[in-house]
Structures are given as structure tokens and as C-alpha cells.
Amino acid sequence: MMPTSQNHYSHRIAQSAFAIAVAIITVCGSGSVSEARVRLQHICSVAGQQEIKLTGMGLVVGLGGTGDGGRSLPAMQALATALQNNNNPVLSPLDLRDSKNAAIVMIEATIPKTGLRRGQRIDCYVSSVMGAKSLRGGRLLFAPVEAPSVTRDVGAPVALGFASGPVYIEDDLVQTSGKIPGGITLQEDTLSYFINRADDKQGITLLLDASHSSFHSAYEVARVINSEFAFEVGRSVAQATGPGTISVDIPQQYHRDPVKFVALLLNVGIDNPHTQARVVVNAKTGTVIVTGEVELSPVIITHRNLTVRVGAPGFGPPPEVRFSAISPEPDPSPSLEQLVEALNLLRVPPEGVIDILRELNRTGKLHAEFIEY
């Protein structure tokens, strides 16, 4: 990397800033950096285990004049229905136009991927959908919640639970949303079924998370599993079936206790799991996060009063002036602390580095997925 000289001091500052920026990329992508052994449970999940989103509509009452008000016909109709269900029918919803203590809300909750049993309770959140000014002090009337992904044989949604309870405002700046701790009681079991059965065989499917999905990663995970569970000579228990999926046979001795096998399997460690090359930029906060093996092609960069050459020997400057370390002493694994100290010492604004990264991506010289928020 070599700057042309107009203002030597400013060039050195900018040069150091860019060297640091690219050093970050080099550190994250260097194969010589020692990475910790990672357990499969941190980069994989078991197919069949997934969160279930519950939704429903309900009525919050007792709002002390901050409800939807008499101009909201849906709120009056909902309140009329609630009264009728409690043996207090009204002749017309318009008779409730002076009511300002009720509000229609959307109910939301999440069943964890491990599943739950009937009778267990989970938290839920309610949000006003009409003109209510605040849900503070309100109480949700008994309301069913459903999951679009769970239906009866005829295709009708199943009421997996019922929601009710007092609303607690978590953010005083947003009083039209609130939380009901333990507000939903489940009426159906929502267990996850993760075992694949065929004849006398049992198996599971591992799913790599998005940041690690690749043919290389899937192959490596299968290889590590086979080396850990070599029960029969010449027979593999794991096979990569795609860039993000690994099919694993459950050995015969674990057929009566498949959970134990899955626990042992997910505890297996893999060295240096492959990570997708990715550069994430947040221009508002000046944050740049780099993951994976990010590489740069030879390029000459002119930015404001700075010219930078980046490339292999024979392109631009001789090898001895190519950027490779943050300090004069070679350090095979510079730490994040060193980077932060260097940036603070130089007082380098991040805008220039981010602008250069944008242009490197636009011209195809930055070999990574570029994400900007």
C-alpha cells in the first residue's frame, strides 16, 4: 500500500486507517488464526424443532378513558359480543358509543422450538390496532390464540391456547403495546417430532445455520460425525445431502434412547467451522463487522487526497510495503483490543473506510457478501 505525497501527515493517518481496516479483514480471514473448537449445537439445529407463532384478536378493558372510543365501530361490536357471551346482550353496538374503556388488540406469543405440554403457560404481548391511546391498567378478556401452521384434518386452525390477564406496559414511550406474563395457557401439546422413521431405521436431519451453510461445511460436519461415531467398519452414520443439511442415522444401540444420541451428537466439536465471507456495515454508527475469509483483488484506490495500491507482488508496490500487520512486530493473531486501541489513538473517522469498502464491493474487488444497514 503506497500513498502519493501531498500532505504527508494526513496521508499517514489515512494510510494507517485503511491498513487497519484491511487488517481487520485479514485477521478474520486468515487461516493461521487459531479458532476455538465449536460444538455442533452452536452451528446446527435438528430438523423438526421450530418455534410456533401464536396470534389472536382480543379485547382489553378497564382502560380509564384511553380506549378506542365511540368512533370505533369494530370496538363497539367486539364489546357487544363480549357482553352477549356473558349473558348481557345489547340491542345495538351503537348503544356502546360512549364506552372509552375498551380496546381491540392483536395478541402474539411464541412457543419455543423444544415444544410445550398442555397446561403450560407462556408470556404473550398485546398491541392496540385501533385508536386507543394507552393500554395501561387494562386487562385482556379471555381470547383464543391459533397458529397458522397447525390445523385440523379439515384445514381449520386449532385454538392452541387461551389468553387473558392484566397488561403491563414495558416502555412508557409506547403505551399502546404491553406484555402479559404467563398470559396464555396451552390447550394442546405442541411437541416437536424430530426422528425420521423408515422400516427398522431411525434418523435425524441436521440443519446448518445460514452463516455456516455451504457444501464445504456440510461435508466437514458429516466427516467429523463419522469419525466420532464409527460403530461399524465401512459404514457411515452421517451424509451431507446439501449445502445446509446432513442426514444422520441413529445407531441401533440408541433406538430406545434417541435423545441421548442427539445430545452426544450435538456436543461433538468441529475445528474452524467454515463461515461465509461477509462484511456488515452500519454507516449511522460507523460499525464494520467482518466474518469469514474475506479477500481483496489487486486494486488502486483514490480517495479524497489519498491514493492506495493494494495487490500481489508485481501489482503496485513491492511486497515489503504491503499491509499485513497493525504494529511493526509481526503478530499472527492481532486482537480486537489492539484494533480498538489503534483506532482510538489515530482518531480515525469511520466514514472514509466505509466509503472505500462500498466502492470495493461495487467494483467487484471485495470478495464477500456486503450488507449495509
Paired residues of 179 in beta bridges: 125, 168
C-alpha cell at 106: 392483536
- The residue with greater pLDDT, 143 or 331, is 143
Residue type for position 139: R
Residue 334 has a pLDDT of 35
Query: Which of 270, 289, 323 is where one domain is finished?
Result: 270
Same domain, 58 and 180: yes
Average pLDDT over residues 79-105: 82
Residue 37 has a pLDDT of 78
Q: What is the DSSP letter of 4?
A: -
- The residue with greater pLDDT, 276 or 371, is 371
Residues of the chain above pLDDT 90, percent: 33
- The residue with greater pLDDT, 7 or 365, is 365
Q: What is the DSSP letter of 97?
A: T
What pLDDT band is residue 331 in, cutting at 50, 70 and 90?
very low
Which tens digit of pLDDT belongs to each residue from 332-366? 333 333 434 444 444 556 777 777 778 878 888 77
Between helices 350-362 and 8-29, what is the axis angle to 10°?
60
Average pLDDT over residues 169-179: 93
Same domain, 225 and 154: no
Query: Which of 270, 291, 307 is where one domain is finished?
Result: 270
Average pLDDT over residues 85-94: 78
pLDDT > 80? residue 329: no
Same domain, 91 and 184: yes
Q: Kindly write down the DSSP assignment for every residue of 245-265, as one continuous string.
A: EEEEEPPGGGTT-HHHHHHHH
Which tens digit of pLDDT belongs to each residue from 309-322? 555 444 444 444 33
Same domain, 260 and 355: no
Which tens digit of pLDDT belongs to each residue from 14-57? 444 444 444 444 444 444 444 567 899 999 999 988 889 999 99
What pLDDT band is residue 124 in, cutting at 50, 70 and 90?
very high
pLDDT > 60? residue 109: yes
pTM of the predicted model as reported, rounded to 2 decimal places: 0.63
Residue 36 has a pLDDT of 60
Say if residues 246 and 240 touch (Cβ distance below 8 Å). Answer: yes
Residue type for position 273: P
Residue 291 has a pLDDT of 73
Same domain, 61 and 144: yes
Residue 120 has a pLDDT of 95
Of 16-30, 85-99, 284-298, which gets the smallest average pLDDT? 16-30
Say if residues 163 and 145 touch (Cβ distance below 8 Å). Answer: yes
Whether 2 is covered by a domain: the verdict is no
> Which CATH number covers residue 204?
3.30.70
Between helices 336-346 and 8-29, what is the axis angle to 10°?
170
Same domain, 184 and 57: yes
Residues of the chain above pLDDT 70, percent: 72
Tell me whether residue 170 is exposed, middle or buried, using C-beta atoms within 10 angstroms of its C-beta: 0 to 12, 13 to 18, 19 or more: exposed
Rounded to an integer, what is the distance from CA 204 to the centroid of its chain?
23
Whether 154 is covered by a domain: the verdict is yes
Same domain, 208 and 291: no
Whether 1 is covered by a domain: the verdict is no
Rounded to an integer, what is the distance from CA 288 to the centroid of its chain?
18
Rounded to an integer, what is the distance from CA 71 to the centroid of its chain?
40
Whether 3 is covered by a domain: the verdict is no
Same domain, 199 and 224: yes
Longest dimension (CA), the chain: 90
Same domain, 57 and 175: yes
What pLDDT band is residue 154 in, cutting at 50, 70 and 90?
low
Q: Is 272 helix (H, G, I), strand (E, B) or coil?
A: coil
Distance, first Cα to last Cα, the chain = 29
pLDDT > 70? residue 3: no
Same domain, 72 and 183: yes
What's the total number of domains in the chain? 3
- The helix, strand and coil proportions of the chain, stated in percent and rounded to the nearest 5, come to 25, 35, 40
Whether 241 is covered by a domain: the verdict is yes
CA distance 199 to 352: 62
Say if residues 56 and 143 touch (Cβ distance below 8 Å). Answer: yes
- The full 3-state SS of 312-324, as one line of letters, equals CCCCCCCHHHCCC
CA distance 161 to 322: 63
Which tens digit of pLDDT belongs to each residue from 239-279? 999 999 999 999 888 989 999 999 999 999 988 776 777 78
Query: Which of 270, 300, 327 is where one domain is finished?
Result: 270
Whether 17 is covered by a domain: the verdict is yes
Same domain, 145 and 58: yes
Enclosing domain of residue 223: 38-48+194-270
Same domain, 232 and 180: no
Angle, vertex CA 211, rays to CA 332 and CA 369, nearest 5: 80
Q: How many CB atoms lie within 10 A of CB 225?
A: 22
Q: What is the DSSP letter of 118?
A: T
